[in-house]
Structure 1
Amino acid sequence: MYAISLGDDGAELCPLEPWQADEFLAHIDRGREFIGRHNGLPDIITDLASSRAYLQAYADKSAADTGRICGIRLRGELVGAVILRRMDLAQRTAEAGCWLEPAAAGKGLVTRACRVLIDWAVEERGVHRVDWWCSSGNAPSIAVARRLGMTREGVLRESYLYRGQRHDEEIWSVLAPEWRAAKRSAARPVP
């Protein structure tokens, strides 16, 4: 299995596959309440069969080139993931997402992992636009969108029914030319 280093702290980005369903379920169980505050994943991943089915759905998306899932590992332990929920190469669009266990939050892991995944989508797959949808109440997700250089495009008021309550959803995005310009700017040496 391959891994992409996310820095000197032992963080890596790795593929997640159906054979890792046990580990994925254990990861969701560790973060179930925290992840479930804004993400319906813990309501979907409830046992080994649903864990395997979820990872298989992403294996199928990967094979069809319509999505991806990558695990975030910290010193070897699975602590989160980044995804391309959908990827439409004919339209050259994708939608990114993420989650983390509470013990891994606040370390910049999602931002670093998303940079790798978005860069792959833009540079390797030719994606022109990457969307980021999140609840208006999810301040950490909004902060990631900002750190990724995304632009807030709007709010869909009370558009998302989650656990019996309506939530506003924010739509953020970054376009390939903006992504590349930000990379060039970050790569310039400081005088």
Structure 2
Amino acid sequence: MFVHVVDEELALKLVELSDAERIFELTDRSRLALREWLPWLDHTKTVQDTKDFIQSGAESFALGNSLNCAIVYRGEIAGIAGFNEIDEAKKTAYIGYWLDTEYQGNGIMTRVAAALTDYALTERGLNKVEIRAAAGNHKSRNIPVRLGFTEEGIIRHGEWLYDHFVDSVVYGMLKSEWLSEKAK
């Protein structure tokens, strides 16, 4: 099983079926806040929906195409983060994340995104990490900015959110840039 220690209070672990109830609980209690920016909330109505997500993610992980992790903060699952897609042909990983509202404001997601970026570029040998966020989602957009990612552009109407399109801002980090920053 994949477990990646981020620091003394934070780790990432491959999501397991036994995590489904906790993840659904977090999803359900943060539903309104998450729904503002994430398109899958209306399709996650039961614990079984969360189990289906976990099973699909496990199959994709086995093929090397993604990595869905539980964010474990001080021993409790606090959200989900990982690689929505790993494109070996392009040597690129695409980070996605969400955090229960109770845990926001503690720097958790910045540390998680840094750990995922480092893992992709140093341990997985990929060349680029991308993070995409809705143009209006400033909390999410601040994470790649804090980590020194480059804003590469805007995909107009990049995502459909229930009843409207939102533009997506693309941020990228190249391996050479990441290693240069780590060396400082």
TM-score, scaled relative to structure 2: 0.92
- RMSD between aligned residues: 1.7
Q: CA deviation at 1:5?
A: 4.0
Structure 1: state its 5+ residue gaps: 186-191
Task: Identify the residue that residue 148 of structure 2 maps to in structure 1.
Answer: 149
Task: Identify the residue that residue 129 of structure 1 maps to in structure 2.
Answer: 128
Contact 1:14–1:70 at 8 Å: present in 2 too?
A: yes
Task: Identify the residue that residue 176 of structure 1 maps to in structure 2.
Answer: 175
Q: Deviations over 1:23-59 (max 9, x none)?
A: 2111211211111111123223211221111011111
Task: Identify the residue that residue 165 of structure 2 maps to in structure 1.
Answer: 166
Summarize the alignment of residues 71-150 of structure 1 with structure 2, pairs less than 5 Å apart: 71-150=70-149
Q: Does 1:50 align with 2:45?
A: no
Give me the whole-angstrom Cα distance separating, in 2, the residues matched to 1:15 and 1:58.
Answer: 9
SS class of match (2:30): helix
- Residue correspondences, number: 184
Q: Deviations over 1:55-96 (max 9, x none)?
A: 111111111111101111222221112120000112211111
Q: Does the C-alpha gap of structure 1 residues 2 and 163 become closer, same or farther in structure 2, counting only changes over 3 Å?
A: closer
Contact 1:35–1:41 at 8 Å: present in 2 too?
A: no
Q: CA deviation at 1:3?
A: 4.9
Q: CA deviation at 1:2?
A: 7.0
Task: Identify the residue that residue 61 of structure 1 maps to in structure 2.
Answer: 60
Task: Identify the residue that residue 18 of structure 2 maps to in structure 1.
Answer: 19
Q: CA deviation at 1:4?
A: 4.1
Contact 1:13–1:70 at 8 Å: present in 2 too?
A: yes
Contact 1:132–1:145 at 8 Å: present in 2 too?
A: yes
Contact 1:86–1:95 at 8 Å: present in 2 too?
A: yes
Give me the whole-angstrom Cα distance separating, in 2, the residues matched to 1:135 and 1:90.
Answer: 26
SS class of match (2:120): helix
Q: Which has the higher mean CA deviation after the structures are superposed, 26-35 or 94-103?
A: 26-35
Contact 1:89–1:125 at 8 Å: present in 2 too?
A: no
Contact 1:151–1:174 at 8 Å: present in 2 too?
A: yes
Percent of pairs with identical residues = 27
Contact 2:23–2:79 at 8 Å: present in 1 too?
A: no
SS class of match (2:157): strand
SS class of match (1:144): helix
Task: Identify the residue that residue 36 of structure 2 maps to in structure 1.
Answer: 37
